[in-house]
Structure 1
Amino acid sequence: MREQPPYLRIADALQRRIDSGEWSPGDRLPSQAVLAREFGVGDNVVRRAEALLILQGALEGRAGSGTFVAAPRERVRLVRSQAREERNGSPFQADMASLGRRGTWESRTDAKVPAPADIAARLGIAKDDLCVRTAYEYFADDKPVQLSTSWEPYALTAGTLVVLPEGGPLAGRGVVNRMAEIGITVSRLTEQPEPRRASDEEAALLGVQRGSFVTHIRRTYFTDDGLAVETADIIIPAALCELVYEVPIHP
């Protein structure tokens, strides 16, 4: 078995001190030189270990002051409901506004991406049929809370004003509103949530520890006649978010 890289060993040791209560939120860590001597490594190894814990949210760096134990982040309540799909505008921003938070996101769209087999099956298209793929990072008050990668059949929106989810007059308005613009009525969706461990890339983007639990939601939007218009993989970190499903009851 390969030996753990020194910076990961140091990061784990620092995290254990935080978890044990030896260091509390707001405490300043010893200098990198002091920690380097204690662990018998170079300053650069300690610096890399601290950078990893800063990325994961366990530590915070303050310019000119050093490195401190970060205060635990308050969990964000994310509501999955029919009502959120009926709002005019971004459902995520509306959810954050209801909590008194500022919801923002960053995205990257790639057009004409061949659909992998699992995505094609969810969309009811052939493997390698072209799709529009958009990767999202969502933030609450500038803190990452959710990741999502969406896929839409290119043939469905090609040549329209809504071909790019984050471009054109309905940019950021959500699948339901965008599809309505081109005469497609989205009437239902399915969501399949399951717990798993975060990948290293997901943990880095979300600022959580490697191997942390996330909820992976496979969501697909459909029309009345069963046409799938979009599918997405949504990643929600358990440590940062409280996931709530709201189900309407019609007597």
Structure 2
Amino acid sequence: MREQPPYLRIADVIRQRIADQEWTPGDRLPSRAQLAQECGVGENVIRRAQELLISLGVLEGRAGSGTYVAAPRERLRMVRSQYREQRGGSPFRADMSSLGKRGTWESRTEAKVPAPAGIAERLGIAEGDLCVRTAYEFLVDGKPAQTSTSWEPYEITSGTLVVLPEGGPHAGKGVVDRMAEIGITVSHVVEQPEPGQAEAEEATLLGIQRGSLVTRIRRTYYSDESRPVETADIVIPASSCEIIYEVPVKG
């Protein structure tokens, strides 16, 4: 069995000392040099351990002041379910409303963007075929909650009133409703979640540190003819959101 990397061992030590209430929320941790001496490791190991715990919301760094034990934060529950994909408006807004919160978003759409190879494969089109790409920043009560980059084949919506997801009379209604307006029935959606670390631009948009833990969801909507009609890459910070999958059981 491979030995645990030193910074992970030190992160566990710090976490345990917090659990034992040696340090409590708001307390300033000893300097990296002092912790390194106490733990018998280099300061770089302490730095990596602290960065990991900051990304998890256990610690918080304050510029020019040091590293502190973070106050416990309520994690937002994001439920992924077949019921959220019913017709009737934005699934995100409905999800947040059910939690008593206000869900809003900002978006930027570009039409006729050539599909990169990976996106083309997911949409079942040729590399370079034109798409409508929309970048979203989703907010909960005005605070960043997730980002998403959506791709739709231009040939599907070209010349229709739903060609721009956030423009026209059907703006903001969600993929299921918009596709129904042009006679396409969305029958199912496939989501593939995986852990990752926030890249620089993602961290800026989400208000987290670069390298913080995130959940990436690759989502694709399919028509009743099994044709992909939209695919998106969703990024959700792990420290502030937990993702719940609700799976129906038929009797």
CA distance in 2, matches of 1:139, 1:183: 31
- Output the aligned Cα RMSD: 2.6
1:59–1:96 CA distance, 2 compared to 1 (3 A):
farther
* Among 23, 26, 50, the residue aligned to 1:24: 26
1:117–1:182 CA distance, 2 compared to 1 (3 A):
same
CA distance in 2, matches of 1:210, 1:21: 26
Letter of the aligned partner of 1:238 in structure 2? Answer: A
- Across the two proteins, how many residue pairs are aligned to each other? 199
CA distance in 2, matches of 1:144, 1:73: 15
Letter of the aligned partner of 2:169 in structure 1? Answer: P
2:222 match: secondary structure: strand
The answer for the alignment partner of 1:121 in structure 2 is: 121
Matches within 5 A, 1:74-223: 74-223=74-223
- Structure 1 position 59, deviation (Å): 7.6
1:83–1:59 CA distance, 2 compared to 1 (3 A):
same
1:101 match: secondary structure: coil
Contact 2:25 2:71 in 1 (8 A): no
- Structure 1 position 200, deviation (Å): 1.4
CA distance in 2, matches of 1:235, 1:23: 28
1:166 match: secondary structure: coil
- Structure 1 position 217, deviation (Å): 0.6
Letter of the aligned partner of 1:172 in structure 2? Answer: G
1:120 match: secondary structure: helix
CA distance in 2, matches of 1:113, 1:146: 23
CA distance in 2, matches of 1:72, 1:230: 37
1:178 match: secondary structure: helix
Letter of the aligned partner of 1:129 in structure 2? Answer: D
CA distance in 1, matches of 2:180, 2:248: 23
TM-score (norm 2): 0.73
TM-score (norm 1): 0.73
The answer for the alignment partner of 1:5 in structure 2 is: none
1:164 match: secondary structure: coil
Which range is displaced more, 72-81 or 236-245?
Answer: 72-81
1:150-205 C-alpha deviation (Å, 9 max, x unpaired): 00000000000000000111111100000000000000111111101111111111
Letter of the aligned partner of 1:246 in structure 2? Answer: E
CA distance in 2, matches of 1:73, 1:105: 22
1:76–1:87 CA distance, 2 compared to 1 (3 A):
farther
The answer for the alignment partner of 2:240 in structure 1 is: 240
- Structure 1 position 74, deviation (Å): 2.2
| Uncovered stretches (5+) of structure 1, i.e. residues with no partner | 1-18, 28-52, 61-68
- Structure 1 position 250, deviation (Å): 2.0
